[in-house]
Amino acid sequence: MDNILYIGPYREFSGMGNASRQYIRALALSGHNISIRPSYNYYVSYPPESIDSSILELEKNHSKHYHKIIQHCYPHQLVFDSRFDENIGLIHLESINNTNMLKDHLNIMDKIIVGSRFVKLALNELDIKSKISIVPEPIDLDYIINYRNNNPIEITDYNYKFYAITSFEDRKNLNSLLMAFLICSNHYSDIDLSIKLRHIDNVANMQEYIEYEFEKIYTTVRKNFVKKPKLYIGNTDYKNILYLHNNNDCYINTSYGESFGYSALEAMAFNNQIITTENTGFDDIINNACGLKIASDLVPCKDKNRIFPIYNSVYQKWYEPKIDDIVEKMFLAINESKASKKQRIKNQTEQIKQFTLQKVSEQFKIL
């Protein structure tokens, strides 16, 4: 087995940070000798006490010679280092039509790892010479099964419950989600929507800020009563996320672009219905009739919240979900028959096997 140095954002409180922690666990299971070092894109740290101790123990590992280095980062951050036998880049993208400037960075790698077919297709546009492998973000299915066995569903009413785990930024497209929910609630009064949101940097009172932004959409509804979503705001313990999955019926995500879509994978572990934008990283998860895909149009990106200006600008494109089709898919979820639900859960139970820590570790064994 090889000595591998992994550099990535596993100490970061972000979606990429979560992916990093899961990839490290799969790497450790693969049998390679792993050493890890942290990197940061966001200056928000994941609580150290919430990081699996087996991950942090790998920071103590050192080797005189590393056969391989894995750089888990954005494409423009990749650098070649001749001290390693093999340089591997593990990257994320949310849009297509990316600048050729990235090509030079990607081609210096011996191998590129991506989490989904969507990202691989985005790289194929650039004619990348490096070998590209799809290795999905793994999930600890045993942990979730144990959680479900020890946490019965809390039944407070029999409303059909949609939920989203997201953030208040352009790419996540909350406006379309909220508008679709308002339209849907005009037809079905017995539905709810819960939205879990991360903190926004430099916003003192996030609750007031988000309610103000949502009020702009509420005013477009010509009725006296507006059914408002339940908001859960702030960085939270992972078990609170699992609580949402366990006590709701349908995970919904109307994002323009996702390189993978880990929350949908978690939702699948709870046998929930899933609604996501087509032509994104979600597709690999909900293929084989494991969820519902929202029809979309390819449009220029408009993302003022991006970390680096070269990504998700008007020069790139992503897929905008059609509001009418979001509503249509919500109708289908609400009216899912018992037979259809049984078949979907059967499909999901089989589908999720390819995303387990053990399965992904097998791919890292032959890295």
Write out pLDDT tens, residues 258-285. 999 999 999 999 999 999 999 999 999 9
- The torsion angles phi and psi of 127, rounded to 5 degrees, stand at 55, 55
d(CA 365, CA 3): 12
- What's the pLDDT at 48? 92
> Alpha-carbon distance 30 to 366, whole Å?
9
Both tokens of 166, joined, read: 């997201």
Q: pTM value?
A: 0.95
Determine the pLDDT at residue 226: 83
Helix residue spans in the chain (DSSP H): 15-29, 53-57, 101-107, 117-124, 141-150, 174-187, 206-218, 238-246, 262-269, 283-286, 323-334, 338-351, 357-365
Residues of the chain with pLDDT under 50: none
Tokens of 296: 């979309």
Taken in order of first residue, the domains within the chain and their CATH numbers are 3-138+357-365 (3.40.50.11930), 141-354 (3.40.50.2000)
What is the pLDDT, as a whole number, of residue 202?
Answer: 63
**Contact predicate 38/31, CB 8 Å:** no
DSSP letter at 219? T
